A and B are shown apart, each in its own frame.
Chain A
Amino acid sequence: MKSHRWGIRRLVVAGAALTALAVLAACGGGSKTDSAGGGTTTGSADAVDAALKAGGEITYWSWTPSAQAQVTAFMKQYPNVKVNYVNAGTGNDHYTKLQNAIKAGSGAPDVAQIEYQALPQFALPGSLVDLNQYGFSQYESAYTASTWAAVHAGSGLFGLPQDSGPMALFYNKEVFDKYGITVPKTWDEYVAAAKKLHAANPKAYITNDSGDAGFTTSMIWQAGGQPFKTDGKNVTINLQDDGSKKWTGMWNQLVEGGLVSNIPGWTDEWFKALGDGTIATLPTGAWMPGVMESSVKAGAGKWAVAPMPTYDGQPATAENGGSTESVLKQSKNPALAAAFVRWLNHDEGVKPFLASGGFPATTADLKDPAFVDKTSAYFGGQKINQVLTAAAGTVVKGWSYLPYELYANSIYGDTVGKAYQSKSDLNAGLTSWQDALVKYGNEQGFQVNG
């Protein structure tokens, strides 16, 4: 008995020691984060050029297909700068590592790719460098209005736009011709086309939508909705505003009627369905042609591009996807990092990006006849960039993402996904999404109204 009790006491002591160790570790982590967050970076436009001249070494995390080519070209032009390019993962894997490194206070790169939707999440807690101090606001005119807005959080400028994704309607012309469907100009016509197609061929669907937060927010954006508004700590969420309801009023007909395929995007089934006519259209970003050319070979010659259908027939679209490159606060050489960002997304770096099939955010390239009037063999000789660059000019203004959009996306399936699963009213799903987002926001330090 005695020895038994001793055992427990020893265990408790050991446990306490371990806890103390952990607390120490935690405090260590905390103080480091603080010093990194509180460190002020001062700089100017001249500092960027000076840093480039002085040279140095920086690390760059990105999953952009052209990143390696861009880095190679940069180092050729500036041999005294060494850029360590790292593909740390795609999307959430990348953000997880970034988040962990920020929390740990070390290990983050100097420059990182961040999608527009995720930018506020990193900018607001002070993890990114405000590029206004380097006078980067002067580059405003070089970019489309929607992407320039997307790299801002509050008044801060946290990156330069890498690409844009104005939405257009990609459709399988062969399928449309076969079933006598005309290209829809309005969403009503689109719904009618969906019914006609599925009635004619029960295995074919107008599009696939298994519930995708990025698609939903873009569609609400196109309908003129502004469900998320952020002003410092104050956040307003209204996923039942006019635009949101306009979209659900239309899209409910497809979901409740079982007229959309449940194949999730970016799976092998999806690539297959795009090639064999199972999925007849995709309302998606202007970066899609590159993906189709390389990955949906069976669709070559069948697909075409049209402007997004709208509610009233007047041109209007939204952005879908797209990224920026940002400078991390942890960077020991933020001026050099900023110089690299400027080269990537403003100067010579844009060319290799376009060559890899990317869709630009830079107005000069969007107006360049060589780009606009290029014929695409894949799209049956259509000058698709005429449609896509025109779309870039009709993006509805005033959109912003939640400052915790990544979390919002992660629980989309728990809430709106249920409506998709039961083929029922999306409004109910959006309302429960909103409730969960309000609760989370308030727990994380925001003042959320919703």
Chain B
Amino acid sequence: MAESVAQQQLARAGATGKRRRRVFKDGKGWLFVGPFLAVFAVTFLAPIGYAIYLSLYRNQAFFGGTVFVGLDNYTQALQDPKFWEAFGRVAVFLVVQVPIMLVLALLAALAIDSARLHAAGFFRIVIFLPYAVPGVVAVLMWGYIYGDNFGLAANLNDLLGTTAIQPLSGTWMLPSIANIVTWEFVGYNMLIFYSALRTVPGELYEAAAIDGAGTFRTILAVKLPALRGAIVIATIFSIIGSFQLFNEPNILRTLAPNVITTYYTPNMYAYNLSFAGQQFNYSATVAIVMGIITAIIAYVVQLRGSRESL
């Protein structure tokens, strides 16, 4: 019975929420969306349109002309073992790394928001900082941490009297990349959650308190529902980020050129086809195929996550 006040309060908040979410039925919305879309069209849609056009042709980098090949490039991509190897790798990465990262971020956000933490502001900025470290220094930094000749890994091996820790070897590589991505992006996602928590109306907490709800009940009944939209966004963008994994493997490629192939991830594959091989047409095809797969998965997540919002 203790919950009843909170439930009423929640129900009321829900009702006002619905009332607050009222939207206006008119085209004036374009006034606000238009400027964004105009720039978006130039910087995203036009290149994608160009890429779709490219994907229908085949061009020879030397001596050659351009031939229209219809969907041949797509057939090739769908049967390309390199593409699927890369895809499988990022799919594994997605399934394992994204939940870990988001749960850590969520816990960090709840902890910092809980007011039970000493020096919460310090935690907030330090956990966010990794995202701000420029990529150029990452090669040096991770080269030191993962280095099994002179680096931290070598020190650990010496300490334990083994040579077992080889973060840059084939079997360790994907976990090593996942570690870097987690390190960088926990703070990023934490901020998304944290700033969403800041919009929870104070009366909900009051109601929960009146009911005598403990910390965990408050989290379950008040905070998590409030975070729903933010969680959906963070998930969607983490899915996209995983499928587009590029920077971190590319950084480690300098340190382990034989382990990280040019087709280690789909995005690296598209990049290397284009930049090293000048196979712009096939590169565009790989990018479009990957885009379609990613969009479908992201769309499903969005539908499931925010049925009412759309």
Contacts and interface: CB of A to CB of B under 8 A. Distances in A.
Establish whether A and B are touching in the complex (CB under 8 Å).
yes
B179 to A, nearest CB: 19
Contacts, number: 106
Contact of A211 (B139, B151, B258, B272): B258
A269 interface: yes
Q: What DSSP secondary structure best describes chain B's contact surface? A: loop
A269 B63 contact: no
Contact of B150 (A269, A407, A414, A420): A269
Contacts of B272: 410-411
A331 interface: no
B39 to A, nearest CB: 14
A264 B254 contact: yes
A414 B268 CA distance: 13
A22 B62 CA distance: 23
Nearest to A93: B275
Interface stretch (B46-54, B98-106, B184-192): B46-54
Nearest to A261: B149
Interface stretch (B2-10, B200-208, B227-235, B259-267): B259-267
Which of the four size classes fits the interface of chain B? Answer: 35 or more
Q: Which of B41, B63, B261 has the most CB of A within 10 A?
A: B63
Contact of A407 (B46, B49, B139, B276): B276
B149 A263 contact: yes
B167 interface: no
Given A404-B62, A411-B276, A444-B64, A22 B150 contact: no
A233 B63 contact: yes
B17 interface: no
A267 B63 contact: no
Interface string A199-227: 00000000000110000000000000000
Given A268-B143, A269-B149, A421 B50 contact: no
Interface of A: 15, 18-19, 21-23, 25-26, 30, 92, 96, 99, 124-125, 210-211, 233, 261, 263-264, 267-269, 272-273, 278, 403-404, 406-407, 410-411, 413-414, 417-418, 420-421, 440, 443-446
Interface of B: 41, 45-47, 49-50, 52-54, 60-64, 66, 139-140, 143-144, 147, 149-151, 170, 253-263, 272, 275-279
15 contacts: A19-B53, A21-B46, A22-B46, A22-B47, A25-B50, A125-B62, A210-B257, A233-B62, A264-B257, A410-B277, A413-B260, A421-B170, A421-B258, A443-B60, A444-B62
Given A269-B151, A445-B64, 9 more contacts: A18-B49, A22-B49, A22-B53, A268-B143, A268-B144, A273-B150, A410-B262, A414-B262, A445-B62
